[in-house]
Amino acid sequence: MSRHVWSWGLGMLMLVLGMGNLGIMASPPLSTAVVERVVDGDTLRVIMDGQSELVRLIGVDTPESKPNQKAIRDARRQGIPLKAVIRSGIVATQFTQQQVKPGDTIRLAYDRQERDRYHRLLAYVYTDNGKMLNATLLEHGMATPMPIAPNTRYRAWFASLHKP
């Protein structure tokens, strides 16, 4: 039995049972991947079907962990020093590293758009404990909701989880 068929079957079982964070019904995982490394708080590098892929978590945004244009914009928008943004980004990256480690098997569920303009896979990431990493980041105050159409399946749920 192929990995995709098995993952689809597992995903359908999760959908029927309503598994996921806080009892929210999970979308069916469509792919299985192995974590290669955590790039930053909201991006992973994984091995999927023998290929290395970047995965960007849908619907959430963690602070930048390195100085760049986005970090500068975020610092100005929030009225805080750039160093504070970077420190928060490092904390978010470390938190994600605690949730998923190299060699861990994860499940990826997609929304309407599979890739972004940078060719990263866009996914809801389910860890081996069945929880959605995207939601876990919000629950622990490591991320803010960032709904980008058309990938807005969990917009309201993510907004309710956000802890400023």
Active site residue 64: yes
Question: What is the mean pLDDT of the segment spanning 57-67?
Answer: 97
Q: Using the predicted structure, report yes or no on whether residue 17 has a pLDDT greater than 90.
A: no
Distance CA 53, CA 32 (A): 12
Query: Predicted confidence band at 163 (pLDDT cuts at 50, 70, 90)?
Result: confident
Q: Is pLDDT of 67 > 80?
A: yes
Flag whether 78 is in a domain: no
What is the CATH classification number for the domain harbouring 145?
2.40.50.90
- Rounded Cα distance between 151 and 68, Å, is 25
**Total domains present in the chain:** 1
**Range 3-14 average pLDDT:** 42
Asked whether residue 19 is assigned to any structural domain, the reply reads yes
Please report whether residue 79 resides in a domain.
no
Instruction: Considering only residues 129 and 163, tell me which one the structure prediction assigns the higher pLDDT.
Output: 129
Read off the pLDDT band of 26 (50, 70, 90). low
Q: Could you tell me if residue 50 is left (phi over 0), alpha (psi between -120 and 50 degrees) or otherwise beta?
A: left
- Is residue 95 domain-resident? no
From 45, 53, 64, 76, active-site residue:
64
Active site residue 53: no
The residue annotated as part of the active site, out of 87, 107, 112, 120, is 120
> Does the residue 87 lie in any domain?
no
Would you say residue 141 lies in a domain?
Answer: yes
Question: Residues 56, 77, 107, 114: which is the catalytic one?
Answer: 56
Neighbour-count burial of 62, counting CB atoms closer than 10 A to its CB (0-12 exposed, 13-18 middle, 19+ buried): buried
Instruction: Label residue 14 by pLDDT band (50, 70, 90).
Output: very low
| pLDDT given for residue 30 in this prediction | 78
Question: Is the residue at 85 inside a domain?
Answer: no
Our answer to whether residue 120 is catalytic in this structure is yes
Q: What pLDDT, on a 0 to 100 scale, did the predictor assign at position 10?
A: 43
> Where in the sequence is the domain holding 37, given as residue range(s)?
3-62+104-161
Task: Say whether pLDDT at 105 is over 50.
Answer: yes
Q: Let me know if residue 30 belongs to a domain.
A: yes
| The pLDDT of residue 104 is above 80 | yes
